[in-house]
Amino acid sequence: MSDESRPSPAQAGTTTRTAAVIPAAGRGVRLGPGAPKALRALGGTPMLIHAVRAMAASRAVSLVVVVAPPEEAAEVKSLLESHALPERTDFLVVPGGDSRQESVRLGLDALPPEYGIVLVHDAARPLVPVDTVDTVIEAVREGAPAVVPALPLADTVKEVEPAGAEGGPEPVVATPARSRLRAVQTPQGFDRDTLVRAHETVTGEVTDDAGMVEQLGLTVVVVPGHEEAFKVTRPLDLVLAEAVLARRRLNDGF
């Protein structure tokens, strides 16, 4: 049996445990000056705590590994201790690296052996609903080596010849058919061995983990994402996140 055809732990059965790695080590340059993005408050609670709760809300997730900004690792540990989190879930904090890719790898290195399925979830997507998390896990359990939640695009996308530092008009190279494009979100779900292999072998710049698995020649599948799984990147995204939280609180009141 070749390596490729042997059933991986994720495919072998339902005993496989699921862990979530949360890269949270970025500074949040595009959000503007202030604390590291994951530690900024949303509805009075750090964004990271929202993201951890979103992963722990899934009954399948029994470990959350937070990859913290190296200087704030101790602060992140005490934040996790001081906020209410489900009893059934364990937590680990590890210091992150210079790139998201490096931070994810450091999180993977900290995973105990019994975890056969791993989710990778941006701390910057604090409001992803639990149904999206469960849909991703289910698709991995059914045998997909890599699963990404994604949404159709509202905008038409053009490929250009980038103008570079001077700015200036950029010639359009192509207009891909919008109906075939998807904007991908997190959590992305993986057979653990596949993701580890991708991180060991793929070099060069990548903006998502599933892209590394594609480079191994494996099929990545898309499942429906959710509008509320948007990434908090720029100041306006904070306004939207606060509005989503306010609406949830209102709905919970009824």
Cβ atoms of residues 20 and 121 within 8 Å = yes
Cβ atoms of residues 141 and 134 within 8 Å = no
* Site residues (CB under 5 A) for Mg ion, limited to 11-70: 26
For the bound state, the minimum distance from the C-beta of residue 172 to ligand CTP, rounded and expressed in Å, comes to 26
**Residue type present at position 137:** I
For 190, other C-beta atoms within 10 Å of its C-beta total 31
Report the SS3 class of residue 149: strand
For the bound state, the minimum distance from the C-beta of residue 99 to ligand CTP, rounded and expressed in Å, comes to 5
> Does position 46 bind ligand CTP by CB under 6 A?
no
> Does position 67 bind ligand CTP by CB under 6 A?
yes
CA-nearest of 121, 69, 112, 72 to 92 is: 112
For the bound state, the minimum distance from the C-beta of residue 98 to ligand CTP, rounded and expressed in Å, comes to 5
Q: Cα dist. 202→9, 128, 173, 212 in Å?
A: 22, 28, 27, 6
For ligand CTP, how many residues bind (rule: CB under 6 A)?
22
Cβ atoms of residues 16 and 138 within 8 Å = no
From ligand CTP, Mg ion, none, interface partner of 37 (C-beta below 5 to 8 A by class): ligand CTP
* 10, 46, 76, 96: residue in contact with ligand CTP (rule CB under 6 A): 96
* Site residues (CB under 6 A) for ligand CTP, limited to 98-157: 98-100, 103, 122-124
**CB of 10 or CB of 61, closer to ligand CTP:** 61
* 35, 233, 240, 248: residue in contact with ligand CTP (rule CB under 6 A): 233
